[in-house]
């Protein structure tokens, strides 16, 4: 039986996966709705053997250096842009993630956002609740069709391909642009009625959809982002919406995230924003927790993680 190790989990998680973690290790869970403050993470770091983090927790080189005992990091997300993988790998610390499990739920939401913004669902719901719906009108709340549209998918990994299957079911023409296949991004932007983003956040994709990209889109086209907020230049998007350069945008992720209530982007017309809920179904979030715990248990036991974002790593000599 291996010795119990100290683990910090930065938020309560759905389901019962954390009970399996508690059965083997000393586990403390941050009890608040909001993330633990930076100083709290740094204060706890020296005593930690394991960390189960969320995408809102910056696990950077400073934090990793402050945790000399740290043996495993498990990120409750597919993306690991909040974790300094290079610093973790240099220390021989495996970093787990949760790929695959949220593919279908995220693809569902991408289609929901396309329909929601094109068919003006949020506007219509607010219109009814405000008591403004007095009669059926031929020109009321006219939107645009998804069926028969050209859907451009930027990033054609698991989620991009799942979106393509759904779009094809709607009778859409699908074009895609990725690092290894598809059409040039410029061509995709010019052709598409819906541009939906499914690429990881990297140095190359940060600000990928800025003023130039938005200017290439049709004035009747919609932008959908369920990837990461910084893939889109928020200021440029707000300007494009205000100027009518594109028909609308639907965002599950933003930059900054969360958007403050007084952020200029929220004043832009034809914008639908939801609070990063692409994976927010009971089944998906519970499965994510199970995978995150499996990753952490393996890492703490010195075994390969089922899902590691930085591959096999070798612990460095102290």
Which residues are catalytically annotated? 228, 257, 276
Ordered alpha helix ranges (H), the chain? 17-24, 38-44, 61-65, 85-90, 103-118, 121-129, 158-169, 185-191, 211-216, 234-242, 282-300
In a 13 Å sphere around the CA of 182, the CA atoms on its Cβ side amount to 23
Coil vs helix vs strand at 72: strand
**Calpha distance 4→22 (Å, rounded):** 9
**Calpha distance 199→196 (Å, rounded):** 10
Who contacts 209 (Cβ-Cβ below 8 Å, separation ≥6)?
195, 197, 223, 225, 231, 232, 233, 236, 237
The secondary structure element, H or E, covering residue 277 is none
Query: Which is it for the CA torsion 53, 54, 56, 61, positive or negative?
Result: positive
What 8-state DSSP symbol labels residue 2? Answer: P
């Amino acid at each position: 039986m291996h010795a119990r190790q100290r683990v910090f989990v930065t938020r309560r998680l759905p389901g019962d996966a954390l009970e399996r973690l508690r059965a083997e290790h000393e586990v403390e869970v941050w009890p608040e709705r909001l993330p633990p403050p930076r100083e709290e993470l740094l204060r706890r770091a020296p005593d930690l053997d394991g960390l189960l983090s969320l995408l809102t927790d910056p696990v950077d080189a400073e934090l990793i250096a402050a945790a000399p005992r740290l043996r495993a990091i498990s990120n409750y997300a597919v993306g690991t842009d909040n974790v300094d993988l290079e610093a973790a790998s240099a220390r021989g610390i495996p970093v787990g993630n949760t790929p695959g499990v949220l593919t279908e739920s995220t693809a569902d939401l991408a289609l929901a956002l396309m329909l929601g913004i094109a068919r003006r669902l949020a506007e219509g719901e607010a219109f009814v609740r405000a008591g403004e719906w007095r009669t059926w009108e031929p020109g009321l709340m006219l939107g645009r069709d998804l069926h028969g549209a050209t859907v451009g998918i930027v990033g054609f990994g698991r989620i991009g391909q799942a979106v393509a299957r759904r779009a094809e079911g709607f009778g859409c023409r699908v074009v895609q642009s990725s690092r290894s296949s598809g059409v040039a991004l410029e061509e995709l932007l010019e052709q598409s009625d819906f541009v939906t983003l499914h690429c990881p956040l990297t140095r190359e994709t940060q600000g990928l959809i800025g003023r130039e990209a938005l200017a290439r889109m049709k004035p009747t086209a919609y932008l959908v982002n369920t990837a990461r907020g910084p893939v889109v230049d928020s200021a440029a998007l707000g300007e494009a919406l205000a100027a009518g350069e594109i028909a609308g945008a639907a965002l599950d992720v933003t930059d900054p995230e969360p958007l403050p209530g007084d952020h200029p982007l929220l004043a832009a017309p034809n914008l639908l924003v939801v609070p990063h809920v692409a994976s927010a179904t009971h089944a998906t979030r519970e499965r994510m927790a199970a995978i995150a715990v499996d990753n952490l248990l393996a890492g703490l036991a010195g075994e390969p993680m089922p899902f590691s974002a930085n591959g096999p790593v070798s612990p460095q000599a102290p």
